[in-house]
Amino acid sequence: MLTNRQFGMQLILLILLLALVAAKSKISAVREDIADYKDYKKLLRTKNNVLALYVSNPKEAAAELKVFREAADGIRGTGTMLYVDCSNQERKKLCKKLKVTPKPYVLRHYKDGEYHKDYDRQLTVESMITFMRDPTGDLPWEEDPAGADVLHFNDGASFTKHLRKDIRPMMVMFHVPWCGFCKRMKPDYSKAATELKTHGGYVMAAMNVERHENAPVRKLFNLTGFPTLIYFENGKMRFTYEGENTKDALVAFMLNPNLKPTPKPKEAEWSADTNSEIVHLTTQGFEAVLKDEKSALVMFYAPWCGHCKNMKPEYEKAALEMKEKNVPGMLAALDATKESAIGEKYKVKGYPTVKYFSYGVFKFDVNVREASKIVDFMRDPKEPPPPPPPEKSWEDEEDSTEVIFPNEETFSSILKRKKHALVMFYAPWCGHCKHTKPEFTAAANAMQDDPRVAFVAIDCTKYVNLCAKYNVRGYPTFIYFSYLKTKLDYNGGRNSEDFIAYMKNPPSPKEHSEL
């Protein structure tokens, strides 16, 4: 039997031991064990997202190191944080080999095993985490000096708190990082904020609703298109701004919001361009125009289609070059949203679709969108070789029996039963996906005996809505789920060993926000 004193001493020792373990686990998010150049190169080969902090004196870089450690806790599983003390005798050679001369520190990012760039964001935990989640992304708007006069709301709580306390007229631009229109509008919006600052009494604000924590705001205002600009007065929403996205129009509206804004100019129809060398076809004249042309290329397009807009200047350029160099043939275009009967006749299902005709008879589809390739084709129009036979789907491969392939209906029910699930969102044509498939499959096979773990694959060419729900914009994209209640982007290595190591010690669900 233990005496009370002996029991008390053992309890104290246990508490001290737990405290020591907790302290060690707290700093384990930062790699500090690299001293040899070979180990350093191995790390870069196996980890594709590494941020390294080199210091000449830990005391002089204490503030930066503190931020670095805190950020490391926030990006577990999405990247690797490496700390190298160049004043340490063991690591001096490594710093010299890397030609690193920190004064007192240097922050460098490595992507896919190669030096990417010096860290150029703010030295804050939030900025560092944002950077590591998307190292190749644009500078966050809130860190751009040009947008210093725009009030940025980080989350719904700060937004609602501001509405309760500040009754000044306020415009809020709800945006997402991938939106091209948002990117083009930001400079004008920032300039409007700066000009209105001189008038006083007006607020130009912005919120990135791509962030998971801002999903309730996105739902509240039914935000489906971006940017969406909403005007508030006395802490309450009045209406959505529908005027021009220019600095002058924004300033004029804020100074007099009751004045009806100038509507956005309507984009002129392509067929109205009298200087164009493109022949614009209609249903009525389609066959009559083409029947006498030995060689004609027809671009079926939709006015709202972004890919069509990108191809339009190339198509125009090709037509002009053909005229100047006497290349035989005609380049024509048809608005398939207006002339739907022709589009249906020739089975046009996407835009732009380019088809080759000879004397009014359809011959074959052509996949050319650049001016030089269009002209080369018209010099010597030949039918492209038939596509190779379709590859066997991943789901049908014999060694993929342990990878789960749900559909949009079964996805939720399957993941709700799994404590740890790693989902690979992929496209069959993606080269990186093809390279990763056997590694992902090997990891699934290796952990098949653990009923808590699931390796899941979603074909985004089949299940578009499911991939859109989780904001998948590149392939492959990996997301970790726990009972479908929590999720975390996975940006670690893509070898089977990396997947296995991650799933054997996955992040704690408590560290991450709910879906």
The residues carrying an active-site annotation are 305, 308, 430, 433
The letter for the amino acid at 75 is I
- Strands 228-233, 420-426: pairing kind: unpaired
First to last CA, the chain: 51
Of 260, 356, 348, nearest to 301 (Cα)? Answer: 348
H runs (alpha helix) in 208-325: 215-220, 247-255, 286-290, 306-324
Q: What are phi and psi of 171, to 5 degrees?
A: -105, 135
Please, what's the b/e burial string for 126-162 (b: 16 or more CB within 10 A of its CB; e: otherwise)? bbbbbbbeebeeebbbbbeeebebbbebebbeebeeb
Q: Quote the CA–CA distance of 12 and 163 in Å, as a whole number.
A: 50
Cβ-based neighbour number of residue 81 at 10 Å: 23
Paired tokens of 499: 């997947």
| Burial per residue of 330-352, b for 16 or more beta-carbon CB atoms within 10 angstroms, e otherwise | bbbbbbbeebeebbeebebeebb
H/E element, 419? none
Q: Rounded to an integer, what distance in angstroms lies between the CA atom of residue 496 and that of residue 490?
A: 14
Please list the residues that pair with 436 across neighbouring strands. Answer: none
Q: What is the DSSP string of 77-146?
A: TT-EEEEEETTSHHHHHHHHHTT---SSEEEEEEETTEEEEE--S-SSHHHHHHHHH-TTSPPPGGG-GG
Beta strands in 216-266 (DSSP E): 228-233, 236-240
Contact criterion met (CB below 8 Å) for 507 and 488: yes
Residue 386 CB neighbour total at 10 angstroms: 6
Question: In the structure encoding, which two tokens stand for residue 213, read together?
Answer: 């924590």
Rounded-to-integer distance, Cα 481 and Cα 483, Å:
6
Which residue, 372, 278, 384, is CA-closest to 325? Answer: 372
Q: How many CB atoms lie within 10 A of CB 235?
A: 14
Q: Are 141 and 148 in contact (CB under 8 A)?
A: no
Please name which of 426, 422, 448, 447 lies closest in space to residue 436, comparing C-alpha atoms. 426
